[in-house]
Structure 1
Amino acid sequence: MTGMGGQCRAMNAEPDDTRPAGVPVDDASAGTPARFADELIRPSVIGAVSLLTLVQYAERPPVRLAWLAWSLAAVAIAAGVASSVVPWRRLPDRTRTTLVAVFMAAAALFFPLAKDTAAMALVFLASVTAGEKLASRRAAFTIVGAGTVVTATATWGATALLHLPNESPWWVPLIVGLPLYIGLARRERADALAASDLAARQSRRAAASEAREAALEERGRIAREIHDVLGHALSGIALQLDMADALHAGGRDQDANEAVRRARALAVSGIGETRRAIRALREDTLPLPETIARIAHGGTAGFEIRGEPGEVRVEVAQAVIRAAQEAITNAHRHAPGAEVNLLLDYTDELIRLTVTDTGTAGPGARPDRSGSGMGLVGMRERAGLLGGTLYAGPAEPPASGWTVRLELPR
């Protein structure tokens, strides 16, 4: 009985090798504990018990019913080893149940013939296997219950009818089914671990999917920046060069030279816009109020915040940054020396950027047209894509100057 108790404790210490049906094993590390249990722990326990049984029977062969003892030992050992080393999840349910039932029946009949040998542990190992391996609890309880009855009956028959010696306590055959609960507990633990592992893999997949979506979104945002900055500038340059070529062909060299100079001015302006766009992309990691404050400081403009700053979408923050840059540039270009002020206003639903200057706004002084780079037209297009609006025009009386107001949903 000491050997049997030690083997049962060994079975209880091994990692589990079961998982719920339908749980995919798609990570290299997900099935490592189960494979380790299948390939090493369980075969080692069954193999140790089998080897000890054979050694003990070789040293002290059974005197009576030797052929029956050796036959039952062979069947029990074969069924026990098979239940540990075969690819269990690939077997049909009926085959699993049959294999465990044969293991239990052979070990139960062999129990009274295995006096003072390690083979007494086989029936206990069969109970653990039934609870751990069988998906149906009803089948597990049926097999173990029948095994307990067979063990008790065989022990009584061997002692009372065949007069075989039996020094084990009378209650030992009645408790061979108790390790079933060890197997059930191990199976529940295995199911919980498998479910946790599946949830972790799904969480990793979701995180990877979100990262891919964020990368695609960022690529789209950069593409829009390139289009806004370089698209307008290059289109203007091409238009001016085509015009210069046509003027030169018509003998209007002076006008052609002027068109070339305008193309060069557009190229220089486009380079500046590109640098500003790159700087804005790099500054996107800073909080929006801090970024706008730096833009205002660099443009010698005043800056004020109203409302409670909070998180805004990346596209919204980028649109606000570009609008602030464009508005300050336009103010300095069209109203040199004018005082420029920026107001960043947060509400529950909107984020509003207002850029004002004190320059005089006369008719035609501030033409609403697209300049090089983003321009007012590009700003309006971007605001429209984000569900917002852009106003650019004279300040409301009695104030004088020019106002650019961008409103975007948060």
Structure 2
Amino acid sequence: MNAEPDDTRPAGVRADDAPAGTPARFADELIRPFVVGTISVLTLIQLVEHPPVRLPWLTWGVVVVAIATGVAPSILPWRRLSDRMQMTLVSVFMAAGAVSFSLAKDTAAPALVLIASVTAGEKLASRRAAFTIVGAGTAATATVSWVATALHLPHESPWWVSLIVCLPLYIGLARRERADALAIADLAARQSRRAAASEAREAALEERGRIAREIHDVLGHALSGIAVQLDMADALYVAGRGQDANEAVRRARALAVSGIGETRRAIHALREDTLPLPETIARIAHGSTAGFEVRGEPGEVRVEVAQAVIRAAQEAITNAHRHAPGAEVRLLLDYTDRLIRLTVTDTGTAEAGAPPNHSGSGMGLVGMRERASLLEGTLYAGPTEPPAPGWTVRLELPR
């Protein structure tokens, strides 16, 4: 008997797959064996003490078969059995219980057919198969009861009493539905934990990537410049140009000092991620004696966007102080519905119109543009629009 797709419980979820510790597993491993075992022992003791007078071999046979198939769901690896094998075992259990309902009426055996009805509803994946087996079992029980009454077997009862056999089916169905619900809930919880762990790993990888970019931006350029200067110093020293070699070494030292300062600022910026962005920029501006203003409604921005704004502010202030000493520097942080804009301007000096030299910068304009491009933003760096003097750096990033 093959069940139709609409007869089965939720796909991929079986009550037998419930994790250890759930009520379904507890019922299977303790309650079911105890109930079936108790009824079986009582039935056998009662049959030994009061042997059946009529049809003894048939009575013993159906009772033994009912007991064997009744304990099968508890001792066999039920979920590994095929659907056909499961239905066969339950059908035999139901048939043997139906016959013993009348033949062993003075024992506990009649309870076996009721347990068979519960088992059909709880253990079979197909509702149609469960109803079919229990319906056939109810009819068989009524028929055997009628035949027993007609043969004047002892302890006969009205045939209509056998109709109660179908009622425990609904108990089994309810238990199965509850077990399925518990299994689905457990599966959803495990999937949620896996999703949370995956998100945590993804966040960790993103953070590692961000720190790697910081290390590259801050130390990569400085170390490359130091290596070039030292190679030049070595070549000049070999060529007998000691004074030029010393100058190259001094430039290498200056690059190292600049790199240390940039590293400290980068570490500070990484630690400032937990602070609101306006507060972080305000601290940077205050530490550099620069003016600062916020426009718009500050709100949450992505960590990588905040980091890019912080690094751009630090680099722009450093360039302004290096190439326009004594100039007034102002920072404007502007929030719109879709963008966050940082504008850094200085009043300029005689050198303000010249493109800045970034040889001592750990990030530079190239690094800032790379960050802006990765975040789908733009960076402008150039002279302030006439007639205002000075230099302007403007970073625009989507929020």
Question: Same-fold call, TM > 0.5?
Answer: yes
- The equivalent of 2:301 in structure 1 is 312
AA partner of residue 40 (structure 2): S
Q: Give 1:237 deviation, angstroms.
A: 0.4
Q: Give 1:316 deviation, angstroms.
A: 1.4
- The equivalent of 1:55 in structure 2 is 45
Change (3 A) 1:21 1:96: farther
Q: Give 1:31 deviation, angstroms.
A: 4.5
Determine helix, strand or coil for the equivalent of 1:407: strand
Alignment of 1:165-204 (within 5 A): 165-166=155-156, 171-204=160-193
Determine helix, strand or coil for the equivalent of 1:336: coil
Q: Decide whether the 8 Å contact of 1:19 with 1:190 is kept in 2.
A: no
Deviations 1:335-371 (A, max 9, x none): 3333222111112222110112223253665525453
- The equivalent of 1:6 in structure 2 is none
Q: Give 1:24 deviation, angstroms.
A: 9.1
Alignment of 1:31-70 (within 5 A): 31-33=20-22, 34-70=24-60
- The equivalent of 2:139 in structure 1 is 149
Q: Give 1:380 deviation, angstroms.
A: 1.8
Alignment of 1:279-298 (within 5 A): 279-298=268-287
Match of 1:255 among 244, 261, 273: 244
- The equivalent of 1:4 in structure 2 is none
Deviations 1:109-143 (A, max 9, x none): 00112324322211111001111111122211111
AA partner of residue 96 (structure 2): A
Q: Decide whether the 8 Å contact of 2:353 with 2:391 is kept in 1.
A: no
- The equivalent of 1:82 in structure 2 is 72
Q: Distance in 2 between matches of 1:48 and 1:163?
A: 26
Change (3 A) 1:392 1:317: same
AA partner of residue 232 (structure 1): H
Deviations 1:190-238 (A, max 9, x none): 2222222222222222222222221111111111111101100001101
Alignment pair present for 1:265 and 2:254: yes
Q: Give 1:264 deviation, angstroms.
A: 0.5
Q: Decide whether the 8 Å contact of 2:234 with 2:245 is kept in 1.
A: yes
Change (3 A) 1:247 1:364: farther
Q: Give 1:263 deviation, angstroms.
A: 0.5
Match of 1:71 among 57, 61, 69: 61
Alignment pair present for 1:403 and 2:392: yes
Q: Decide whether the 8 Å contact of 1:370 with 1:378 is kept in 2.
A: no
AA partner of residue 233 (structure 2): A
AA partner of residue 97 (structure 2): A
Change (3 A) 1:228 1:409: same
Alignment of 1:130-141 (within 5 A): 130-141=120-131
Q: Give 1:23 deviation, angstroms.
A: 4.0
- The equivalent of 2:365 in structure 1 is 376
Q: Distance in 1 between matches of 2:119 and 2:339?
A: 64
Change (3 A) 1:87 1:361: farther
- The equivalent of 2:345 in structure 1 is 356
Q: Distance in 1 between matches of 2:195 and 2:104?
A: 56
Q: Distance in 2 between matches of 1:236 and 1:173?
A: 96
Q: Distance in 1 between matches of 2:385 and 2:131?
A: 87
Q: What fraction of aligned residue pairs are identical, expressed as a percent? A: 82
**What is the root-mean-square deviation of aligned Cα atoms in Å?**
2.3
Q: Give 1:285 deviation, angstroms.
A: 2.2
AA partner of residue 292 (structure 2): F
Q: Give 1:297 deviation, angstroms.
A: 2.1
- The equivalent of 1:230 in structure 2 is 219
How many residues get paired?
Answer: 390
Change (3 A) 1:143 1:333: same
Deviations 1:57-114 (A, max 9, x none): 2333323322222111101000100122211111111111110000000001001123
Mark the runs of 5 or more structure 1 residues left unpaired by the alignment. 1-17
Q: Decide whether the 8 Å contact of 1:123 with 1:176 is kept in 2.
A: yes
Change (3 A) 1:384 1:273: same
- The equivalent of 2:90 in structure 1 is 100
Q: Distance in 1 between matches of 2:14 and 2:191?
A: 11
AA partner of residue 317 (structure 2): I
Alignment pair present for 1:345 and 2:326: no
Match of 1:335 among 318, 324, 341: 324
Q: Distance in 1 between matches of 2:161 and 2:49?
A: 25
Alignment pair present for 1:325 and 2:301: no
AA partner of residue 312 (structure 1): V
Q: Decide whether the 8 Å contact of 1:19 with 1:194 is kept in 2.
A: no
Q: Distance in 2 between matches of 1:206 and 1:239?
A: 48
Q: Decide whether the 8 Å contact of 1:323 with 1:406 is kept in 2.
A: yes
Change (3 A) 1:370 1:405: farther
Determine helix, strand or coil for the equivalent of 1:300: coil
Q: Decide whether the 8 Å contact of 2:372 with 2:397 is kept in 1.
A: yes
Q: Distance in 1 between matches of 2:392 and 2:291?
A: 14
TM-score by length of 1: 0.89
Alignment pair present for 1:244 and 2:233: yes
Q: Give 1:154 deviation, angstroms.
A: 1.3
AA partner of residue 88 (structure 2): T
Determine helix, strand or coil for the equivalent of 2:166: coil
Mark the runs of 5 or more structure 2 residues left unpaired by the alignment. 1-7
Determine helix, strand or coil for the equivalent of 2:249: helix
